[in-house]
Structure 1
Amino acid sequence: MAEHTIGVDISKSHLDVFDAERREAKRFENSISGFRAFEKWLGKLEIARVVYEPTGPYHRNFEERFCDKLPLIKVNPLQARRFVEACGTRAKTDALDARGLARMGIALDLQPDTPVAKTTRILKDLQVARTALIKERTRLNNRAHVLTHAVLKRQTKARLALVEKQIAELDKEIDTFIDTDKAIARRRQIVTSIPGLGSVASAAILTYLPEIGTLDRRQVGSLAGVVPYNRDSGQWKGKSFISGGRKPLRDALYMPALVAMRYNPDLKAKYEDLRAAGKPAKVAIVAIMRKLIETANALVKADRVWVPKNT
């Protein structure tokens, strides 16, 4: 029996799907009833992969409904678009996008993603909300410095107090969710043993890198977006640069790197060596960020806490 590759373009109201083997397209509502109709349409087909793009809040229900039922593959929208254009398709419609996603899955032999645990999905929602509050706190603090009217000062102060309270409430909820999962709690214990990585940073790392402990050095660095890539062509040699990866994870590593290069003896020595070799401060900091995430990944894989090299 042939294995089927399904492309799914998800919008606010509809799912446009395409079965590459049957060469059949169909549209369903992006709703519970639409999901049931989609399952009925699939029937007892042998499904190799279901390829879709993240679309903000619109793909969430689809992902949660089918993560344990179908071999889902979530692809980068930019890469999907470039693939379609490389195939010679310039027009863009929902139906064409679904067809392109199916073709991409077959051509690149994409493999299904590991299902995301419910705890991880909840932690991500909490982390996203926390990040928004941190940005709001920064905005209010910046505004407070230039206000002169008494009413505006009082209102801004009250908003800041509310935001601080909400951040503390989210931190408590994140800690509670981590503590209720023994595996995640153990990983957090290991990660926080590394000087520079506190409870907030470790929670962000475990949320945005649930694969930690299962990756090699290159993979974990690439996912964090801290691996430099060459820019060479013929005799021209450009500067290496970092790109891609998971931005929230990279953001979570920046402040810990600043702390680690002062108080983590291993990373402090590494930073000083890089600076002594003439590396710019930003390059040295990125190197520390990469070393932090690589160390955390290696320790979680070995299931042991950090100890200084001289002990």
Structure 2
Amino acid sequence: MDVVVGIDVSKDRLDVHVLPSGESFAVANDDESLDELAAKLLSLNADIVALEATGGYEMLAAAALSGAGLAVIVVNPAHVRAYANALGKRAKTDPIDAEVIAAFVAATKPAIRPLRDEENRALAALLARRRQILAMIAAEEQRTRMALAKEAQKSIGRLLAALRRELDSLDADVDDHIRKSPLWRVRETLLTSVPGVGRVTARTLLA
């Protein structure tokens, strides 16, 4: 049986559910924790990792996990909710959790189209540069706490502002890269592949 991982994404946290084992855990949504999560999911021989699209908070996780060699897709939360509603699992206004995301992907069995080598290299380069910028920001923030002279403080402030603008630019590049890649599946109508969920029902649930 395939090992399917559902990840419920928020700004600072990732809630993870693994099928068929039923294991659940949470990690921080940051670079260090994503490295640890990737290693854990690789050790579990995860066949597919699904994240819901949540206004961009999922982009770093999708990029990092895909870059680690995992098969990743980003799914539309409306589709996941419609799947849950169709099976009577939860009310329409209830939050989507990692277990439901995993169950949705296990039921719909979406085709996985891995990134091409050049896409992986480009994504890896963006993530590496992002980490460099984060390290530079951390170093300058540390200097801020040490610098006493106003002139030094002003210089550090200007550099921090520039570094944060560059970080925003890199995040936008990662976002754009993911949205144009095979990982991005929010427009696919996977619901109709679930037994008992026809096109009319799917359209009604997604309305």
CA contact under 8 A between 2:62 and 2:73: conserved in structure 1? no
Aligned Cα root-mean-square deviation (Å): 3.2
The CA deviation string for residues 211-251 of structure 1, in whole angstroms up to 9 with x for no partner, is 8xxxxxxxxxx98xxxxxxxxx9xxxxxxxxxx9xxxxxxx
Q: Which residue of 1 aligns with 2:2?
A: 3
CA contact under 8 A between 1:73 and 1:111: conserved in structure 2? no
> Shift in Å at residue 73 of structure 1?
1.5
Residues 46 and 210 (structure 1), Cα distance of their counterparts in 2 relative to 1, 3 Å cut: closer
Distance 2:32 2:121 in 1: 26
Q: Which residue of 1 aligns with 2:77?
A: 77
Residues 44 and 55 (structure 1), Cα distance of their counterparts in 2 relative to 1, 3 Å cut: same
1:36 counterpart = 2:45: no
Q: Which residue of 1 aligns with 2:97?
A: 97
> Shift in Å at residue 9 of structure 1?
0.9
Residues 209 and 21 (structure 1), Cα distance of their counterparts in 2 relative to 1, 3 Å cut: closer
Distance 1:208 1:60 in 2: 9
> Shift in Å at residue 210 of structure 1?
6.6
1:104 match: secondary structure: helix
> Shift in Å at residue 49 of structure 1?
0.8
Residues 65 and 210 (structure 1), Cα distance of their counterparts in 2 relative to 1, 3 Å cut: closer
Distance 1:13 1:209 in 2: 24
Distance 1:3 1:39 in 2: 17
Residues 67 and 210 (structure 1), Cα distance of their counterparts in 2 relative to 1, 3 Å cut: closer
CA contact under 8 A between 1:120 and 1:210: conserved in structure 2? no
5 Å-filtered alignment, 1:153-164, equals none
The alignment of Structure 1 onto Structure 2 pairs a total of residues equal to 127
Q: Which residue of 1 aligns with 2:12?
A: 13
> Shift in Å at residue 71 of structure 1?
0.5
Q: What amino acid sits opposite 1:101 in the alignment?
A: I
Q: Which residue of 2 aligns with 1:49?
A: 48
Distance 2:40 2:9 in 1: 17
> Shift in Å at residue 208 of structure 1?
7.4
The CA deviation string for residues 245-292 of structure 1, in whole angstroms up to 9 with x for no partner, is xxxxxxxxxxxxxxxxxxxxxxxxxxxxxxxxxxxxxxxxxxxxxxxx
Distance 1:59 1:208 in 2: 11
5 Å-filtered alignment, 1:220-231, equals none
Q: Which residue of 2 aligns with 1:65?
A: 64
> Shift in Å at residue 118 of structure 1?
6.7
Distance 1:104 1:210 in 2: 21
Distance 1:16 1:47 in 2: 16
2:43 match: secondary structure: coil
5 Å-filtered alignment, 1:133-172, equals none
5 Å-filtered alignment, 1:1-311, equals 2-68=1-67, 69-90=69-90, 92-93=94-95, 97-115=97-115, 117=119
Moved more, 8-17 or 32-41: 32-41
Distance 2:179 2:35 in 1: 31
Q: What amino acid sits opposite 1:79 in the alignment?
A: H
> Shift in Å at residue 114 of structure 1?
3.5
CA contact under 8 A between 1:8 and 1:17: conserved in structure 2? yes
Q: What amino acid sits opposite 2:98 in the alignment?
A: A
> Which protein has the larger Cα radius of gyration, Structure 1 or Structure 2?
1
Distance 1:72 1:7 in 2: 10
> Shift in Å at residue 119 of structure 1?
9.3
Name which structure has the greater RCO, CA cutoff 8 Å, separation 6+. 2
Residues 67 and 104 (structure 1), Cα distance of their counterparts in 2 relative to 1, 3 Å cut: same
Distance 1:20 1:208 in 2: 26
Q: Which residue of 2 aligns with 1:261?
A: none
2:47 match: secondary structure: strand
Q: Which residue of 1 aligns with 2:197?
A: none
Q: Which runs of 4+ in 1 moved over 3 A?
A: 118-121, 207-211
2:62 match: secondary structure: helix
Distance 1:90 1:61 in 2: 29
Identity of aligned residues (%): 24
